[in-house]
Chains A and B, each alone.
Chain A
Amino acid sequence: AQKVTQAQTEISVVEKEDVTLDCVYETRDTTYYLFWYKQPPSGELVFLIRRNSFDEQNEISGRYSWNFQKSTSSFNFTITASQVVDSAVYFCALSEAGGSYIPTFGRGTSLIVHP
């Protein structure tokens, strides 16, 4: 069973629009970690954020914000006032204590920001 679902394969927006990337996860563990990574056209994945299952506080970092809701098993990522440089593939990932923290990645969402 897929543990991390990123239902949006591709999103296309115009610069300055806000965009939300969805991530839904599945786990029976009470202790787990969620991540977002960015893969720009250059290819190298870059870590953006980590959240543990005991901390549902939302986080904001500049134009980026993350909404973690255990009730809906979601960890969504919002970019405010998108820019062309935000164009990339974004991956959500899950590591579970019961799974020896072996990471599971979603299929990724390709974000295209048009000027």
Chain B
Amino acid sequence: DARVTQTPRDKVTEMGQEVTMRCQPILGHNTVFWYRQTMMQGLELLAYFRNRAPLDDSGMPKDRFSAEMPDATLATLKIQPSEPRDSAVYFCASGPGQGYNEQFFGPGTRLTVL
């Protein structure tokens, strides 16, 4: 049963520290998404990759966030330096074909920045 995996599942860090979240998309999926979920803002799209190329990262704070796909089996989301307002659940999702197909979500990384 193919699933999207994310590590770590939980992360507690102090303000100013670098945070790296990793995602392994489902093998064969060529679209990858990063989302942030908070009570206040709901589900926000941070980055969207197709065939490893970034198609949209307009929802991502550029000064501190970066998203990459070093290869087809790994997507990373980095925050440097982290701030308390970054505390949220970060989801990775992958999908086949184009963005109009369904997405398969990972379990999320719960980030707490103190």
Contacts and interface: CB of A to CB of B under 8 A. Distances in A.
Interface stretch (B22-30, B61-69, B74-82, B94-102): B94-102
Across the A-B interface, the 7 shortest Cβ-Cβ residue pairs: A101-B99, A45-B105, A47-B102, A33-B100, A107-B42, A105-B43, A101-B100
A108 B39 CA distance: 11
B102 A103 contact: no
Contacts, number: 52
A55 interface: no
16 contacts: A35-B102, A43-B89, A43-B107, A44-B105, A45-B105, A47-B102, A91-B43, A100-B55, A100-B56, A102-B55, A103-B33, A103-B103, A104-B45, A105-B45, A107-B42, A108-B42
B76 to A, nearest CB: 20
A45 B91 contact: yes
Given A102-B55, A107-B42, A44 B98 contact: no
B107 A52 contact: no
Contact of A52 (B48, B91, B100): B100
B42 A95 contact: no
B99 A100 contact: yes
A42 B105 CA distance: 12
B10 to A, nearest CB: 11
A115 to B, nearest CB: 26
